[in-house]
Amino acid sequence: MGLPGWARLGPGVVKIIRQKSHLLAVRGGRPVEISAVSARTRDKDRGVNLTSYAWEDDPVVLATRDDVDVFVELMGGSDGPAKAATEAALKAGKDVVTANKAMLAMHGQALAQLAEDNGAVLRFEAAVSGGIPVVKSLTEGLAGNEITRVLGVMNGTCNYILTRMESAGLPYDVVFEEANQLGYLEADPELDVGGIDAGHKLSLLSAVAFGTQVNFAGVELEGIGRIKIEDIRAVADMGYRIKLLGVAQMTGRGLEQRMSPCLVPETSPLGQLPGGTNMVVLEGDQVEQVVLRGPGAGEGPTASAVMGDVMDIARGLRVTTFGQPAATLTEATPAKSATPAPYYLRMALQDKPGALAKVAAVLAASGISIDQMRQYGHADEAAPVLIVTHKTQRAALDEALEAMQTTDVVVGAPVAFRIENL
C-alpha cells in the first residue's frame, strides 16, 4: 500500500495498521501493509515514525511503484498532485482509496471511467461524512432499492456552530471565532460555513443514489452566515431548529440538489443532532427510511472509513465507483427547488401604518399565503417581523422577495429559510 498525504489522516491510518495488524489480516485474508509513503517534507513530526517505510518525494512516482497495489490518496485538493497521482495509479491498474471529496466532485466521472478502463477500483467512503458508512450502504446494502431522497447534516463544523449558538445564546460571529480557535474550520473557512464542503459530499451521494454523473455545479449552495441568534431563538419558539441541510431527490423536473440552512422539527432525529455529529437519511421504495448517524470528521473516524475500503479490496470485493458502470451514469437535468415547501421569512419593516399590509399583498400577488406571523418589540425605526408561509415554490418566493425590495417599507434584504418535511 502506498500512502501520500500527512496533513490530517495519514497518522490515523498508520495507527490502525500497526495496532490492528493481526485483526486486519484475519478479516481481510491477507496482510495489510504500508510499503512506501510520500509527503512534502520528511523531517516533520507527524506523531508516527515513518522511517521503516520507503520514501518518495513525488506522489506520482509513489503511485506507480511495483510494491504498491493500493494507492491511498489523502493529500486533498481538487487538482494538482492529488489528481495527477490518482490518475497515474489508475492508469497503472492500481486500486485507489481516497478521502478527497473535492477531487471527486470535480472529476468523479472521468476518474470512475479511468478506473474501469484499467481494471481498477476507486473507493471513497472517507470522502463523505467521516466514519459513517453511507456510500457502502447505498452501493451495497440498499442496492435493491430505488432511492427516492437523500438528506442530512454533512458538515460537523456548521452543526457545531449552530448548536453552540443555541445552547450558549451566542451570536454567529462569536461562535465562528470560537470554532476557528478550536481548529474546526478549514484553512479557507468558506469551504465549511459556505456549504461548499457539504455540497461536494451531497453531489457524490446523488451520483450513487440516482445513477447520475457527479454534478457539483448543479448543487444550490447557501451557507450559514446569514443566520442570526434571533433566528435561532425564534424558530425554537416555533418548535424548530436550524440545520445546514443537504437534500437530493429526483423529481419530474430533474435532479434537485441543495445545501442550505433549513428548519427541521426539534423532535426529529436531525433536530436533535448535537455538535459536530453528522447524520444522513436515506429513503428508498423498499426500506422507507434508514438513518445513519456518527462522527463526520476527525483522524480516527475518517481513518476507519479509509480502512473499510482497503479491507474490501483485500477481500477481493470489486465495486464500481458509483455503484454501477460509469458509462451508464446519466447526465441529469438540474432542478432548482422543484418541491414546494413552507418557508420561514425574517425581515425588518418601517414602523408605519400599512407596512404589514404591503408585505402581505406582495406575497399574495405571488400566490403565497401566510401561515404564521410574529412581530417583536423594537427600539429603533425598523420593526423585526417573522413570517411562516404555507407551501410554495421557491421560484414564487424569490419573485415575492424581489418585489418586496421595490416597496418603501422593507429595510434591507429579507432572509428566507426552507422548512423541510422529515
Catalytic residues: 201
Residues 6 or more apart whose CB falls under 8 angstroms from that of 85 comprise: 4, 59, 60, 62, 63, 71, 73, 75
Euclidean distance between CA atoms 309 and 315, whole angstroms: 10
Nearest to 375 by CA among 230, 246, 240: 230
Euclidean distance between CA atoms 268 and 19, whole angstroms: 38
Residue linked to cell 421504495: 285
Contact 75, 82 (CB under 8 A): yes
Euclidean distance between CA atoms 337 and 348, whole angstroms: 25
Contact 244, 155 (CB under 8 A): yes
Residue linked to cell 516533520: 44
Cα dihedral value 232, 411, 339, 370, nearest 10:
80
Contact 137, 281 (CB under 8 A): no
Question: DSSP for 264-281?
Answer: EETTSTTTT--TTEEEEE
